[in-house]
Structure 1
C-alpha cells in the first residue's frame, strides 16, 4: 500500500455525460499538489465533494455517494458529472495505491477559477481531484455528543432553497466551528438542532434513533444531507425486521430513545450521552451494524439500489 495519494482528473471527461472512454489520471506528489489561488473552491467554497471508507480496495456505498454528488452538483449549477467515468476514476486511483485494506477516499469538484477576475487569463473549467489516505484512523465505537442550535427552522430548506441545506458543498466553515465547539465541551460529536427544537444532523454525520422495534432519522426535506451511511443502516434494520421511518424528530426524543447513533463513511457510533446526560445505548447492535456494513456489501447494495436517497 502506498502513501497518501493525490490524483487530478480532466473535467472534459469527468463532467461530460457524453464521454464514453476511460478517464485519464494525473498523479501528483502530495507535497507538490496545488490548485490555482483563483479557484472558487478555495476562495469561496464553491464546489462539492464526497468521501467514504475503502475496505479491501472497495469504496463503500460508492453508488450512493455518486448519486448524491450529482444532486449536489445540480443544486450548485455545476456541470452534470459523468457518474460512470467518475466511478472509474476513483476506483483507478485506489487501484494505483496498491493493496488497500483500509483507507479513506475523497472526490472533490470545484467550479474552477473565478471568471470575474479580468486579469486572470486561465481557462474557466472545473477542478476535479481525488485524495486517497491509507492512514485514515479507525473511530471509537462509543461517543458522547452535544446539541448545537442552528439559526434554522424546520421548514427553512423549503422556504429558502438558495441556502443549499441539502447539498454537500465545500463551504464547511460552520461545520468545522461546530467541531471545535464540541471538542471544547469535551464531546466527540455534535448534533445540530433547529430553533424550534428538531434534530437535524451532525457537522459530518447523520443521526438515527431506535425506539423499540423502530428506527427513525430526520427527513432530508428538513434541510440535511440524505446520509449514505444512514441508508446502509436502514438496510440492516429492514433486513432484520425493524420498521424504518423518515420523520421530524423533536430533540427530547434523543434522551428517551432506546439507542442513538451518529454515522458517516460507512461507520456507526453509539451515543452514550447527550449534553452530559447519559442515554440508553446498544453497543452490541452497533457492533452488529458495523460488521454488517463491512461484510454484507452485496446485500446492502441490493437493498440500497431500490432505496436510493431522494
Structure 2
C-alpha cells in the first residue's frame, strides 16, 4: 500500500500533503517524549465510487472528548474532515484497487514555546489491514488476563489518570501485548485489581449470555469503545439486548461467545482465555463483522 500523510496546523487551519518517510516532529514535541496528545483510527472501506468511513462521527466525538480531558484546543470538525478526506483521496489516487485500510489521525500538544505557550500540531496517515488482522477476523484469538493495577471505578475519583481518554501514551498497552505474546497468547485482557474485567490493550470485550450482549461499563476504568457502541446500537437487529455490566473472568470463560471489537479488526472471536476454551458463535461473528463494516 502506498503511504499517505497529511500535516495539520490547527492554528492556521491548514492541511498539507507530505512525505511519510521524511522527518516531521522536532524532538521537543511533547508527544515525542511525553506522549502528550490524542489519536483515533478509523476503518475506511471502498467499493467503486462508494466510500465508507466506519463510525466516523463516534470517533471524532471521542477525539473531541479526549482533547477536552487533556486541555487541548477543541478540534475543528471541518479541518479534521479535510485531513481525513485528503488521506483517502491520496490512497485512492495511488492505488485505485484499494478496498480497505485505516486512517490514523492525531493531535499533539506540540512544542513548548519560550513564552510558555504551546503550538499544537496534528497529522493523519493511512495504515494497512494486514494479515494479522484478516487472520484474527477469520480464526479468532487467545488471551491471557493481566492485572491493570488499579481498582474498578478509580477514574471517577482520579480524573487526572485520563483513563477514559485515547492518548498517545500507549507504552503500557504495547507492553501488555508483548507480555501476552511471551505467554503464547495473541492478546491481553486487562482486569481491575479487584477482579472486574475491563478491556484489551486496543479492543473492547463483548460477551454473549443467552440473548444478551454484555460489556464492561466505561466508568469501571476503560476506554469507551466506538465499535462496541455501534454494536450495542444495533443489537436489536441481531435479536439481542445489550447492557453494561460488571463481571469476572469466570463469566467470560463460561459465556456463550466472546469477542474483541475494535476499529480495524471489527469483531474477532475470543477462543481461549488463560488456557480455557470459550464457546464460538460463528454465525454471530459473521453478522457482527458485517454490521460493523457497514458503518
Structure number with higher strand proportion:
2
Instruction: Find the counterpart in structure 1 of residue 285 from structure 2.
Output: 286
Q: Answer yes or no: is the 8 Å Cα contact 1:209–1:254 preserved in 2.
A: yes
Instruction: Find the counterpart in structure 2 of residue 274 from structure 1.
Output: 273
Aligned residue pairs total: 282
Q: What whole-Å deviation, never above 9, does each CA across 1:239-275 have from its counterpart, x for those lacking one?
A: 2221110121222211111011101115100011100
Structure 1 spans left out of the alignment, 5+ residues = 15-23, 298-310
Q: What whole-Å deviation, never above 9, does each CA across 1:262-299 have from its counterpart, x for those lacking one?
A: 011151000111001111121221112112222x43xx
Q: What whole-Å deviation, never above 9, does each CA across 1:98-127 have from its counterpart, x for those lacking one?
A: 244111110010000134xx5xx9983111
Q: Identify if the C-alpha distance between structure 1 residues 268 and 113 changes in structure 2 by more than 3 Å, giving closer, same or farther.
A: same
In structure 2, how many angstroms separate the alpha carbons of the residues matched to 1:195 and 1:240?
34
Is 1:46–2:36 an aligned residue pair? yes
Q: CA deviation at 1:176?
A: 0.5
Q: How does 1:167-206 map to 2 (within 5 A)?
A: 167-206=165-204
In structure 1, how many angstroms separate the alpha carbons of the residues matched to 2:12 and 2:100?
28
Q: Answer yes or no: is the 8 Å Cα contact 1:145–1:274 preserved in 2.
A: yes
Q: Answer yes or no: is the 8 Å Cα contact 1:104–1:136 preserved in 2.
A: no
Tell me the TM-score normalized by structure 1: 0.86
Q: What whole-Å deviation, never above 9, does each CA across 1:155-176 have from its counterpart, x for those lacking one?
A: 2111111100000001111001
Q: Identify if the C-alpha distance between structure 1 residues 213 and 135 changes in structure 2 by more than 3 Å, giving closer, same or farther.
A: closer
In structure 2, how many angstroms separate the alpha carbons of the residues matched to 1:214 and 1:156?
27
Q: How does 1:174-253 map to 2 (within 5 A)?
A: 174-253=172-251
Q: Identify if the C-alpha distance between structure 1 residues 166 and 123 changes in structure 2 by more than 3 Å, giving closer, same or farther.
A: closer
Instruction: Find the counterpart in structure 1 of residue 55 from structure 2.
Output: 61
Q: Answer yes or no: is the 8 Å Cα contact 1:270–1:286 preserved in 2.
A: yes
Q: Answer yes or no: is the 8 Å Cα contact 2:6–2:86 preserved in 1.
A: no
Q: CA deviation at 1:222?
A: 1.0
Q: How does 1:1-310 map to 2 (within 5 A)?
A: 3-14=2-13, 24-56=14-46, 57-98=51-92, 99=96, 100-115=98-113, 118=114, 124-134=118-128, 136-137=130-131, 138-139=133-134, 140-141=136-137, 142-265=140-263, 267-294=266-293, 296-297=294-295
Q: CA deviation at 1:135?
A: 5.8
Q: Answer yes or no: is the 8 Å Cα contact 1:48–1:168 preserved in 2.
A: yes
Q: CA deviation at 1:198?
A: 0.3
Runs of 4+ in 1 over 2 A off after TM superposition: 121-124, 133-139
Q: CA deviation at 1:12?
A: 1.7
In structure 1, how many angstroms separate the alpha carbons of the residues matched to 2:200 and 2:167?
15
In structure 2, how many angstroms separate the alpha carbons of the residues matched to 1:13 and 1:247?
44
Deviates more, 1:224-233 or 1:65-74: 224-233
Tell me the TM-score normalized by structure 2: 0.90
